[in-house]
Structure 1
Amino acid sequence: MNSDFLLDTEESKYLFKNFAEQLPIIDYHNHLSAKEILQDYRYENITELWLKSDPYKHRAMRMCGVEEHYITGDASDFEKFKKWCSVFPKLIGNPLYHWSKMELTQVFNLDIPINSENADILWKDLNKKLKTPEYTSKSILSRFNIEYCAPCMTINSDISQFEKNKIHSPSLRGDDMNNITAEFIRELEDNTGVQISSLDSLKKAIHKRCEVFHLAGCRFADHALDYNFYYKCDDGNNNKRLQKIIQGEELNVEDMAYLNSELLRIAGNEYALQGWVMQLHIGAMRYTSTRLRNAVGAAGGFAGIGRVDTRHIAQLLDDIEHGENGIPRTILFTLNPASNAEIAILEGSYSRDGVSALIQQGPAWWWCDHYQGIYGMLDSISSFGLLYEFIGMTTDSRSILSFVRHEYFRRVLCVWIGRKVKSGEFDADLNFLGEMIERICYLNAASAAGMEA
């Protein structure tokens, strides 16, 4: 992979090398292990670092027919690595083909084809590097020029390890506030000292935990609105529903939808009070193969793409807007490319005086953060919203090697803009376009994170 990888016009090469390439990284949503990023963790071998926590690679191996024994099973780490190398050439055209090669070249300075023939030498050379101080977790992260990294943590998580850390801050993952249980309530009571007996006391407890998160540097929160999400306006009965939960009763599907909608309204108004950015991840179809889910867990790499009726998203935002604190800055991530237009158009539906891009479409997400997905998302945002205010890339990943995807995104962005210049669609004002690239790749996200950029 040479320095002009993907860059197919002189304009794209100029923009990437003069504006995008050296920018710091703001990664505002990921699933990295706090232990790995906050301690100087030393990996046992390349399988632990490269394969163990990456469901993208697990999914690819399954599609190639590799037995689960060699993916998440009891095979040795060397056997798992050899299986990965054996199927890698088949992934040509898949984003993993690019990402994995970038991970090898950028992190390990190795430009060796990944295949069965080279498995032994790769295993030996990579593990030799991992034994040195230059390849502990902190050393690997330092290679990426990261200024802000926000692994998501649930509201009851212990986040004390983030205190006084200037780079790594928690983001709040709000999904455990969906389908709440009596156990969740008790844990929240223990963490806040608030006895929860009503929606008002639940709001107080959530506020106290958000204050703790804010002091630890949290500026982002996210909620998953999966393909079966449907929103319910307040019918005045949610205190009664909460009482049933506290008493250990189970709600039926409709009652839980009412209560979940109430909690989203509470959360949205709390985030607005804190000055945070709310992220809504829309359209994942998490229940596909029961067999695989039972075998390897919910995050095994076999979720599908669904769709959410945009009317439910619009009504949720409308009700939050009428709350005490209004709508927080909100990023709408759609997993389904067919929903790009209907999500992107909402950027202009809740505008507020003096605020740019209060609502915006997020970057291509999960199964869509490949070349075509990023390119299509840029078309969508520029056609229906404000590309200049776009918050840019985040990895949403479980692997620290995935920060190479920021460069991948930046290259695709420069390709997209370079082609617009070459075709005459954009004025050839490369300094202005470079300024926009700096905003998309760094400054807009830095501002959202509350950083002095």
Structure 2
Amino acid sequence: MTFNDRIDFMGPDFLLENEAARRLYHEHAACMPVCDYHSHLSPVEIAGNVQFDNLTELWLKGDHYKWRAMRCAGIDERRITGDRDDRERFQAWAETVPDCLGNPLYHWTHLELRHPLGIENTLLSPETAEEIWTASRARLSTPELRAQGILDSFNVRTVCTTDDPVDPLDEHRRHAVSGKGPTMLPTFRADAVLKIEQPGFVDYLGELEAASGVPIRRFDDLLAALGQRLDHFAAHGCCLSDHSLEKPVFVVPPTVAELDRLIDRRRQGAALTAEASGGFTTAVLLWLGREYARRGWVMQLHLGALRSLSQRGLAEIGPNSGFDAIGDVTYAEPLAAILDTLDRDRALPRTVVYNLNPRDNEMLASLAGSFQGDGIPGKVQFGAAWWFNDQRDGIERQLTTQMQFGLLRSFVGMLTDSRSLLSFSRHDYFRRIFCQMLGAQMQRGELPNDTDRIGHLVRAVCYDNVQRYLFER
């Protein structure tokens, strides 16, 4: 028997190495719907049920994972984010893919080609690029592979976008009224208002004034404007917030009079000390946390990203373009202080905390375990493997930490954190890895050899838990 006879590359049992894992996946995980509770998908594309012309439109525009890989392969930037046409940019990706062996992009690429595009038994390479380009364009021209059809093909029931407080949410309203496709909900991402030290803060206050109809001169005005936007988001079905805290800080909040002065100083163009900025950020975040708890919303905290390291790349291409890295700051104490302050007032919302540096897994999981209660399973969650961690090793490490420091039964599972409609294959990737981990433990006698019992756990983590966590009050 030859090697090729024995191993089916990414076949039906991809990543499933024993019978228990195969049964868990095929009988329990594969059939579960998807609730993607954190994405960066375009509401315009979903509500408009966009028809994509080609894979570059659908696959490469906005995907900084692929952009980083192409730069590493020596592809000229003009063929990545520059002025070259869609076909040439696709060719650049086809040239890169054979060099991605061992990188999750190699698996994700071929999972996405197989489903929903139906391109099997052909590896993407410079030699096959024209064949795949032509076949994929033919498939994308069909009615069933418009934007909503792509989501339906992945059995997506709910998708949560990421939206600035000043967003009017017109696309969410239009989509809800249509009654078509999966449910699309907004997520309240108020990062800009937390960062008083940023150069664009004053301009952002003007945008918030225009969106809310509240003139902002004092701190209480700012809270009133945010309250109006929270009401607006709630009217569109919002039940989640999200914050990117590159380095969480906790400074005892200043008095309201002092906060008023900070806003006034920034309006006059004055710089603030780190202590003053930290006090303002803490005051706004605590107020928002209490509001989320009052409304029954979930708060998400993404921690530890080191963003836009290449100033040249930022200037030429913009943020979120593949120039980010894992930060190495320590933040256990300030994060604990934020959660504890809210908890002492019985105003701690359901909270999911994500770390970018895997060295923080155990710290963050143990910290989350310190703020449980109120009859809510997994009230504070150690979140799914995020960004640089959402490959096999990172997923396995996150799941292992979840098992050892908390209760896997309460875990709310995977998300895409993506700008591509095809990225829902990552839910399948996660489910296969998850089932393989459990199946291996069953095979070693570490878990009961009971696929029905363990299958119930699989179904909970894949879908049931997140539905309960988000929507049951």
TM-score per shorter chain, which class? Answer: over 0.9
Q: TM-score, normalised by structure 2?
A: 0.92
Counterpart in the other structure of 1:428: 449
In 2, Cα distance between the equivalents of 1:392 and 1:12? Answer: 18
Match of 1:223 among 226, 239, 243: 243
Matched residue of 1:280: which SS?
A: strand
Matched, 1:267 2:267: no
Aligned residue number for residue 467 of structure 2: 446
| Segments ≥4 residues shifted beyond 6 Å | none
CA distance in 1, matches of 2:98, 2:460: 36
8 A contact 2:36–2:414 mirrored in 1: yes
Partner residue, 1:169: 185
CA distance in 1, matches of 2:283, 2:374: 27
Give the conservation status (yes or no) of the 8 Å contact 2:39–2:160.
yes
Task: With the length of structure 1 as denominator, give the TM-score of the two structures.
Answer: 0.95
CA distance in 2, matches of 1:287, 1:321: 34
Question: What is the one-letter code of the residue matched to 2:184?
Answer: H
- Of residues 7-16 and 239-248 in structure 1, the stretch that sits farther from structure 2 once superposed is 239-248
Q: Secondary structure at the match of 1:449?
A: helix
Aligned: 1:276 with 2:291: no
The answer to whether the Cα contact below 8 Å between 2:412 and 2:466 also exists between their aligned partners in 1 is yes
2:195 to 179, 185, 194: 179
Name the residue aligned to 2:140: 130
Equivalenced residue count is 450
Tell me, yes or no, if structure 1 residue 151 matches structure 2 residue 161: yes
Counterpart for residue 49 of structure 2 = 40
Q: 2:225 matched to which residue of 1? A: 205
User: Does the 8 Å CA contact 1:219/1:448 hold for their aligned counterparts?
Assistant: no
| Residue 200 (structure 1) shift | 2.7
- Does the Cα contact within 8 Å between 2:414 and 2:427 map onto a contact in 1? yes
What one-letter code is carried by the residue in structure 1 that aligns with 2:220?
Answer: D
Partner residue, 2:5: none
Displacement of 1:302: 2.1
The partner residue of 2:33 within 10, 19, 24 is: 24
Cα drift, residue 130 of structure 1: 2.0
Say which SS state the counterpart of residue 108 (structure 1) adopts: coil
Cα deviation code 1:212-268 (max 9, x no counterpart)? 111211111110111x44321224332321332355544333322221111111111
In structure 2, C-alpha distance between the alignment counterparts of 1:23 and 1:343, rounded to whole Å: 28
How far 1:154 moved relative to its partner?
0.5
Structure 2: which amino acid aligns with 1:38?
Answer: A
Counterpart secondary structure, 2:319: coil
Of residues 103, 110, 117, the one that matches 1:94 is 103
Letter of the 2:136 partner, please give it. Answer: L
Q: Note if 1:83 corresponds to 2:92.
A: yes
- Cα deviation digits, residues 402-431 of structure 1 (max 9, x gap): 011001101111011111111111122322
State the shift of 1:380 in Å: 0.6
**Could you tell me whether the CA contact under 8 Å between 2:21 and 2:436 is conserved in 1?**
yes
Match of 1:327 among 321, 331, 348: 348
Query: How large is the RMSD of aligned CA atoms in angstroms?
Result: 1.7
- Judge conservation of contact 2:289–2:342 (CA < 8 Å) in 1: yes
1:290 is aligned to 311
Q: What is the CA-CA distance between 1:188 and the residue it aligns to?
A: 2.1
CA–CA distance in structure 2, aligned partners of residues 188 and 46 of structure 1: 36
Alpha-carbon distance in structure 2 between the residues aligned to 1:115 and 1:190: 50
Cα deviation, 1:100-137, whole Å, max 9, x if unaligned, reads 10000011100111001111111111112222222221
Aligned position for 2:129: 119
Partners of 1:402 and 1:392 lie apart in 2 by 16
258 and 145 in structure 1: CA distance in 2 versus 1, 3 angstrom threshold: same
More deviation, 432-441/402-411: 432-441
1:311 and 2:333 matched:
yes
- Where does 1:289-438 land on structure 2 (aligned, <5 Å)? 289-307=310-328, 308-323=330-345, 326-438=347-459
Aligned residues with identical type, % of pairs: 36
Against the structure 1 CA distance between its residues 395 and 93, is the aligned structure 2 distance closer, same or farther, given a 3 Å change threshold? same
Using the alignment, how far apart are the partners of 2:312 and 2:204 within structure 1? 28
With over 3 angstroms needed to count, the CA separation of the structure-2 counterparts of 1:389 and 1:208, relative to structure 1, is same
Asked if structure 2 preserves the Cα contact closer than 8 Å seen for 1:70 and 1:80, the reply is yes
Task: Tell me the alpha carbon deviations over residues 352-410 of structure 1, each in whole angstroms, 9 at most, x when there is no partner.
Answer: 24222111100000011000000000011111111100010010001000011001101
Q: For each residue in 1:35-65, what CA deviation from the matched residue of structure 2 results, as whole angstroms up to 9, or x when unmatched? A: 1111121223221111112111111101111
